[in-house]
Chains A and B, each alone.
Chain A
Amino acid sequence: QVHLVQSGAEVKKPGASVKVSCKASGYTFSAYYMHWVRQAPGQGLEWMGWINPNSGGTKYAQKFQGRVTMTRDTSISTAYMDLNRLTSDDTAVYYCARGSNSSWYSSFDIWGQGTMVTVSS
């Protein structure tokens, strides 16, 4: 069974950073791109970027350039999303999602359960 299991909820102060992990199982981790998507309370889905677990190459949405870093550890089949300079607007559920094929231009067929990040003073 293919699964993505994310780290637990976080509460952060404005200006801080958060690092969310996403552990993959049931498939070859390096063979599929990993995307990150967030969803503010009551709002829609917002794509943040992807990482190619094979090469470590990344592509970030323009909105998050300079503030987000996506990394991976292939030895433990885990992807990470690091977001810094947090504000209250970053309060959201953060999802990792697997690309459906071996390229970045794909739908997302497997999703993590989501990680709630709350930014509050």
Chain B
Amino acid sequence: DIVMTQSPDSLAVSLGERATINCKSSQSVLYSSNNKNYLAWYQQKPGQPPKLLIYWASTRESGVPDRFSGSGSGTDFTLTISSLQAEDVAVYYCQQYYTTEITFGPGTKVDIK
């Protein structure tokens, strides 16, 4: 199985400041034949199901604010919130869908400083 790790476990950022979350996969999730990274990011607020933010590592889901962006390739990925808003307080998960055993990272909790 591909093991997903995230760092940090949690972070607190001032309103309007940048938040950066890292995700690392134990093997590459880049499919060479189409040059796509099989990596997604989700946001989960308390008591709610996860919400898809980013897929193919850097494609923003429809309706997601453009302050959310994804980058990276191969085994190292980043989710950036360019200007943190109060409504962005949540846990963020990365997910690989490269292998038949789909796996998630352990999550990163984002709070306001």
Contact = CB atoms under 8 A, between A and B. Distances in A.
A108 B104 contact: no
A107 B49 contact: no
Interface in A93-121: 95, 97, 100, 104-109, 111-114
B38 interface: yes
B97 A45 contact: no
A44 B49 contact: no
Interface string B70-113: 00000000000000000000000101011011111111000000
Contact of A107 (B44, B55, B105): B55
Q: Contact residue range for chain B?
A: 20 to 34
B38 A44 contact: no
Contacts of A100: 52, 55
A105 B2 CA distance: 14
Contacts of A114: 49
Nearest to A48: B102
A113 B49 contact: yes
A111 B49 contact: yes
Contacts of B100: 59, 104
A107 B52 contact: yes
Contacts of B21: none
Contacts of B52: 100, 107-109
A46 interface: yes
B40 interface: yes
Interface of A: 35, 37, 44-47, 59, 61-62, 95, 97, 100, 104-109, 111-114
